Structure 1
Amino acid sequence: MRRHLALFTTATRYTLTEHLRNRFAMVLVAVFIPLWTMLAYLVMPDSPARMRLRATGEVLAPRGNEITELSGALNAVTLITGFMMFAATFAGHDFDRRLAMAGYPRAHLVLAKVAALALASAAVSAYATVITWLIWTPRQPFLLAVALFSAALTYGVLGVGFGAVMRREVEGMFAILMTSIIDLGLQNPITSSGSESPVTRFLPSYGAMQTSTAAGFSTADVPGQIAMQLCWFAGAGLIALLAFHRRTRNALPPAARPLVPRPHRTSSDETDQTDETANAGTTAAG
């Protein structure tokens, strides 16, 4: 048990170090989130915009700048988390593959990435929730943090999947950006308030968008939408796991793979083996 914990701790430490070394991501977290959300709040008109919350059927009339700021916070959190996980996976896939080929358990590598993703998502989501609360007051700040956190988890595992599949960095960045644009653009609360298209229900952040809207302008609980978002996280995580497993597999034939040395025997082990051999000889002689 201690060995597994040590392996997991070591892999997590290296993964977190890789994130902290990404200074551009740190700048995005510190600057992009407040800048984007504040501009969305200041530029958009504050006139009420009638819309129906599909999760509960309520008809709401939030201010245009507040609902736009909420959508901007969700967009910023998903983009940054996706970029962070993609950059870490893409830059470290050769290192991960060497570790796996050397015998480092893949399960510990995967769990380390999940732990790092959870910590990064929690930090970014909490920061975005505080920024939103300083600009205006959502009705359910904790539920808003949960919505942002679940969306960040989803895009984080998407970033891991893209990082394990894409061959060039620009391809992965473009894939994350276009996924976010299509996802949040089609379900923008202002432009799609009257749309009842079932397609939007299958978008990656649909559950998070419904939950964040309820958190901002309603007192209703929406556990079904959170569960839907976590299902997206689980599905995307499974695909990312398969891609990571394929990327770190040993392509050498079994005959060409290096032999794993047997564990070194201690003097006590040799003594026990000698005693067992002697006993076996005595039994055979009798």
Structure 2
Amino acid sequence: MRIRLDAISTPVSAPASQAGQVASALGAITMVAGFITFIETFRSREMDRRLLLAGYPRLPMLLAKLAAVALTAAALALYTTILLWISLPVHHTGPLVLALTGAGLVYGGIGLLLGSLVRGELEGFFLIIMLSLVDTGLQNPVFNTLMDVAGVSALPLYGVNQLALSSALTPHTPWSHGLLSLTWSAATGALALLVLHTHRPSRSPWSRRTSAQAG
């Protein structure tokens, strides 16, 4: 099959099975990373609230959640890259790892955000599944060889999809497209931290001193 990748501005010939494996790997990572971070964030709401009310610092808790997202994304990317390297003639392993890690970071941040916003687990799972299916489905080269759907470049996985397909199936490495995933990761992570910051109570020494004086 022939695939047109915006990242390298030229059609690429590749077996449909190989292109499908790369696209499926991205879809699997997005769902797993999104589910893990969502369920952890959702179920730890009450514990986080108790820790903050007991005086535990807010910043270390928020940074720990971001570190957990990063470690989850990296572990999933390494595991998936090994599987792809065994089954495919991968051209550039390093960029492929970065692309898959970026996919995990983006949807890990989305899971972190939804875990702080939605009221039930069902809503969170539904949103992650639908967003992931739309994101990966519109960019799956097996279903859409030209990938020229209007607005596809605005999707969260556009950059990592271009980098992953190019790195796995061609001699080219479009590093600039990998930066798009970092932008999405930073945006979702920052928004999730903002929501966590505003939705969790604070019992810092200053607030406790102020409330004691007011009493």
TM-score by length of 1: 0.69
Paired residue type of 2:170: S
- Tell me if 1:211 matches 2:163: yes
Q: CA deviation at 1:122?
A: 0.9
1:202-233 deviations in Å (ceiling 9; x for gaps):
10111110000011111222121111110011
Deviation (angstroms), 1:107? 1.1
1:8-23 correspondence runs (5 A): none
Deviations 1:99-135 (A, max 9, x none): 1222222111111011111111111110000011111
Alignment of 1:68-87 (within 5 A): 68-87=20-39
Where do residues 125-144 of structure 1 align in structure 2 (5 Å cutoff)?
Answer: 125-144=77-96
* TM-fit CA distance, 1:160: 0.5
Alignment correspondent of 1:171: 123
Counterpart CA distance in 2 for 1:227 and 1:218 is 19
CA–CA separation in structure 2 for the residues paired with 1:140 and 1:216: 6
Q: Which aligned runs of 4 or more in structure 1 are off by greater than 4 angstroms?
A: 257-260
Q: 2:140 touches 2:147 (CA, 8 Å); kept in 1?
A: no
CA–CA distance in structure 2, aligned partners of residues 137 and 203 of structure 1: 28
Residues paired across the two proteins, number:
210
Alignment partner, residue 141 of structure 2? 189
Q: How far did residue 141 of structure 1 move?
A: 1.4
**SS state at 1:204 partner:** coil
Give the RMSD, CA atoms, in angstroms. Answer: 2.0
8 Å Cα contact 1:90/1:169 also seen in 2: yes
- 1:232 aligns with 184
Deviations 1:75-112 (A, max 9, x none): 11111011000011011011111212222221111110
TM-score, length basis structure 2: 0.91
* Aligned mates of 1:169, 1:258 — CA distance in 2: 35
CA distance in 1 between partners of 2:173 and 2:165 (Å): 11
The answer for unaligned runs of 5 or more in structure 1 is: 1-48, 261-286
Q: 2:116 aligns to what SS in structure 1? A: helix
- What SS does structure 1 have at the residue aligned with 2:4? strand
Contact 1:97 / 1:247 at 8 angstroms: preserved in 2? no
Unaligned runs of at least 5 residues, structure 2: none
SS at 2:151's partner residue?
helix
In the TM superposition, residue 259 of structure 1 has moved relative to its aligned partner by: 4.4
- 3-state SS of paired residue (2:177): helix
- Is 1:150 aligned to residue 102 of structure 2? yes
User: Is the partner of 1:51 in helix, strand or coil?
Assistant: strand
Judge conservation of contact 2:141–2:147 (CA < 8 Å) in 1. Answer: no
Whichever residue aligns with residue 197 of structure 2, its letter is H
**1:62 alignment partner AA:** A
Find the aligned partners of 1:136 and 1:54 in 2 and give their Cα distance: 22
Partner in structure 2 of residue 115 of structure 1: 67
- After the TM superposition, which of the residue ranges 136-145 and 190-199 deviates more from structure 2? 190-199
> What is the percent sequence identity of the aligned residues?
33
Shift of residue 197 of structure 1? 3.3
Indicate whether 1:96 and 2:54 are aligned: no
1:258 is displaced (CA, Å) by 6.4
Is contact 2:29-2:100 (8 Å) kept? yes
Deviations 1:140-193, CA, capped at 9 Å, x for gaps:
111111100011001001001000001111111111101101111111112222
